[in-house]
A and B are shown apart, each in its own frame.
Chain A
Amino acid sequence: MTQQNNQQAQRKAAMAVLAHAEAGEIAARLRAFALPAHQDLRTPENGLVMLRGRVGGDGAPFNLGEATVSRAAVRLASGEVGFGYTLGRDGEKARLIALCDALVQSRDFSASVERDVIAPLREQLTIRRKQAAAETAATKVDFYTMVRGEG
Chain B
Amino acid sequence: MYVAVKGGERAIENAHRLLANARRGDQSVPEVTLDQISEQLGLAVDRVMSEGSLYDRELAALAIKQARGDLIEAIFLVRAFRATLPRFGASEPVDTGAMRVQRRVSSTFKDIPGGQILGPTFDYTHRLLDPSLADGFVPEAPATAESSTAPTPRVTDILGRDGLIESSPQAEDGASVGDLTREPLNFPADRDLRLQNLARGDEGFLLAMGYSTQRGYGRNHPFAGEIRFGEVEVEFSAEDVGFAVPLGSIELTECQMVNQFKGSATEAPCFTRGYGLAFGQSERKTMSMALVDRALRARELGEEALAPAQDEEFVMSHSDNVQATGFVEHLKLPHYVDFQSELGLLRKLRQEFAEANAPDAMKEAAE
Q: Which residues of A contact B240 (CB under 8 A)?
A: 73, 83
A142–chain B nearest beta-carbon distance, Å: 9
Q: Is the CB of A52 within 8 A of B92?
A: yes
Q: Is the CB of B236 within 8 A of A89?
A: no
Q: Is the CB of B102 within 8 A of A134?
A: no
Q: Which residues of A contact B177 (CB under 8 A)?
A: 52, 60-63
Q: How many residues on chain B are close to A (CB under 8 Å)?
A: 84
B323–chain A nearest beta-carbon distance, Å: 16
What number of residue pairs across chains A and B have CB atoms under 8 A from each other?
233
Bound together, the chains give a CA A130 to CA B100 distance in angstroms of 11
**Option from B53, B96, B118, B144 in Cβ contact (under 8 Å) with A66:** B53
Q: Is the CB of A19 within 8 A of B247?
A: yes
Q: Which residues of B contact A58 (CB under 8 A)?
A: 97, 154, 157, 168
Q: Is the CB of A87 within 8 A of B55?
A: yes
Q: Is the CB of A132 within 8 A of B170?
A: no
Bound together, the chains give a CA A52 to CA B235 distance in angstroms of 10
Bound together, the chains give a CA A10 to CA B88 distance in angstroms of 24
Q: With an 8 A cutoff between CB atoms, is A136 at the interface?
A: yes
Q: Which residues of A contact B94 (CB under 8 A)?
A: 51-54, 64
Q: Is the CB of B171 within 8 A of A61?
A: yes
Q: Which residues of A contact B360 (CB under 8 A)?
A: none
Q: Which residues of A contact B100 (CB under 8 A)?
A: 129, 132-133
Q: Is the CB of B254 within 8 A of A49?
A: no
Q: Which residue of A lies closest to B176 (CB)?
A: A61
Q: Is the CB of A85 within 8 A of B170?
A: no
Q: With an 8 A cutoff between CB atoms, is B248 at the interface?
A: yes
B106-145: contact bitstring with A at CB < 8 Å (1 yes, 0 no)? 0000110001111110000000000000000000001111
Q: Which residue of B lies closest to A136 (CB)?
A: B102
Q: Which residues of B contact A54 (CB under 8 A)?
A: 93-94, 96, 168
Q: Which residue of A lies closest to B249 (CB)?
A: A20
B108–chain A nearest beta-carbon distance, Å: 14
Q: Which residue of A lies closest to B191 (CB)?
A: A55
Contacts A57-B96, A58-B97 given; does A138 touch B56 at CB 8 Å:
no
Q: With an 8 A cutoff between CB atoms, is A36 at the interface?
A: no
Q: Is the CB of B200 within 8 A of A65?
A: yes
Q: Is the CB of A66 within 8 A of B54?
A: yes
Q: Is the CB of B93 within 8 A of A85?
A: no
Q: Which residue of B lies closest to A145 (CB)?
A: B110
Contacts A57-B275, A85-B236 given; does A66 touch B168 at CB 8 Å:
no
Binding site for B on A (CB under 8 A): 8, 11-12, 15-16, 19-20, 46-69, 71, 73, 83, 85-89, 129-141, 143
